[in-house]
């Protein structure tokens, strides 16, 4: 379990960074709206999202707070379970799961506490092309999903190689 503790610590550190950055954004950006960091490319823009990724369901008539919080809580429990059960020597899998866990819990905390998620990281190319505003928890989920996909591809290749050898 000691080896697994490292991955839970990684999740906690990412979670702390997420919550601290959201607290900063709420304190500093809420009243100025936008802080340009790299002109025409990167800025901090305060936003709140009631929905899920890319603001899906944000304009829903229904109260989605507890539905989305419940889904997130179940996902966090499932990811924690897989992190505990995954092979200790599977570094990429464990790292993927720790990033997923941190991101899920980071947004879950916002959803329960505020009823919505604080977003503030905003990439754009002039005003022609903009990426949806996001936060560290969202980035953590994306990194975790990417690492998980890489691990699944690797496992598939290993499985295919074993099948052709045997």
Asked whether 11 and 106 are in contact (CB, 8 A), the reply is no
Looking at the annotation, which residues are catalytic?
119, 138
Identify the three-state secondary structure at position 89: coil
139, 84, 147, 37: CA torsion to nearest 10: 20
From first CA to last CA, the distance across the chain in angstroms is 33
What pairs with residue 45 in β-bridges? 34
- Of 149, 152, 140, the C-alpha closest to 53 is 140
Q: Where are the alpha helices (DSSP H) in the chain?
A: 2-28, 65-85, 91-114, 136-165
From residue 147, alpha-carbon distances to 67, 98, 106, 130, 152 in Å are: 27, 11, 19, 25, 9
């Amino acid at each position: 379990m000691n080896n697994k503790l490292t991955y839970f610590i990684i999740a906690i550190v990412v979670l702390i960074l997420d919550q601290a950055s959201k607290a900063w954004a709420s304190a500093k950006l809420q009243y100025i709206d936008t802080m340009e960091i790299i002109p025409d490319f990167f800025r901090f823009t305060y936003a709140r999202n009631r929905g899920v990724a890319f603001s899906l369901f944000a304009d829903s008539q229904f109260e989605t707070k507890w539905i989305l919080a419940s889904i997130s809580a179940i996902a966090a429990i499932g990811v924690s379970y897989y992190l505990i059960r995954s092979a200790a020597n599977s570094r990429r899998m464990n790292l993927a799961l720790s990033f997923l866990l941190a991101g899920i819990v980071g947004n879950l905390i916002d959803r329960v506490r505020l009823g919505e998620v604080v977003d503030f990281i905003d990439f754009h190319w002039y005003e022609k092309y903009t990426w949806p505003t996001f936060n560290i928890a969202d980035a953590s989920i994306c990194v975790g999903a990417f690492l998980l996909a890489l691990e699944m591809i690797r496992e598939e290749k290993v499985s295919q190689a074993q099948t052709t050898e045997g």
